């Protein structure tokens, strides 16, 4: 699960979960920076959350959730563990969480750099530090 800032296209919060429950989603909302608006798909759980003085709305189509859908596609693209394939999956949730944490760190740095310099192209590999 991911919580995304639509303006900066950065991943604000994420969790490795097997199903979307109210407790997990509320924890993500509590840990992320506060926002004025929260948008989601039509899952009933989202309507019962507390949004810290922000407003919640169900998105009509993909107009308000395109950023999170695009970032989820980026995660599946860069991490084979998240690809929808039966051969590439993590057996260890801790290893998956570590891989996602590393990717989100570099992905957010790239997104912020793209906002500063929109004419230049940046790839995630440009932000990964060499091990030697």
Residue in 29, 57, 30, 52 with CA at minimum distance from that of residue 42: 57
Position 6 confidence tier, pLDDT thresholds 50, 70, 90 = confident
- The dihedral built from the CA positions of residue 43, 52, 31 and 105, taken in this order, carries a sign that is positive
Q: What is the pTM of this model?
A: 0.75
61 vs 32, which has greater pLDDT? Answer: 32
The better pLDDT of the pair 129, 71 is held by: 71
Domain count, the chain: 1
Asked, for residue 132, whether it belongs to a domain, the answer is no
- Report yes or no on 77 lying in a domain: yes
Q: Which residues pair with 14 in a beta bridge?
A: 2
Sign of the dihedral defined by the CA atoms of residues 127, 66, 94, 34, in that order: positive
Averaged pLDDT score across all residues of the chain: 84
In a domain, 13, yes or no: yes
Domain, as residue range, for 79:
2-127
Q: Tens digits of per-residue pLDDT, 52-105?
A: 888 988 888 888 888 888 888 888 888 877 776 566 666 788 888 888 998 899
């Amino acid at each position: 699960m991911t919580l995304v800032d639509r303006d900066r296209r950065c991943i604000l919060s994420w969790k490795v979960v097997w199903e979307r429950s109210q407790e997990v989603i509320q924890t993500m909302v509590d840990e992320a920076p506060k926002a004025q608006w929260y948008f989601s798909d039509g899952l009933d759980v989202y309507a019962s959350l507390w949004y810290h003085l922000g407003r919640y709305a169900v998105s009509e189509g993909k107009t308000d959730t395109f950023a999170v859908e695009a970032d989820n596609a980026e995660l599946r693209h860069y991490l084979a563990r998240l690809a929808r394939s039966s051969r590439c999956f993590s057996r260890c949730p801790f290893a998956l969480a570590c891989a996602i944490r590393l990717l989100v760190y570099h992905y957010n740095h790239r997104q912020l750099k793209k906002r500063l310099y929109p004419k230049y192209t940046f790839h995630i590999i440009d932000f990964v530090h060499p091990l030697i």
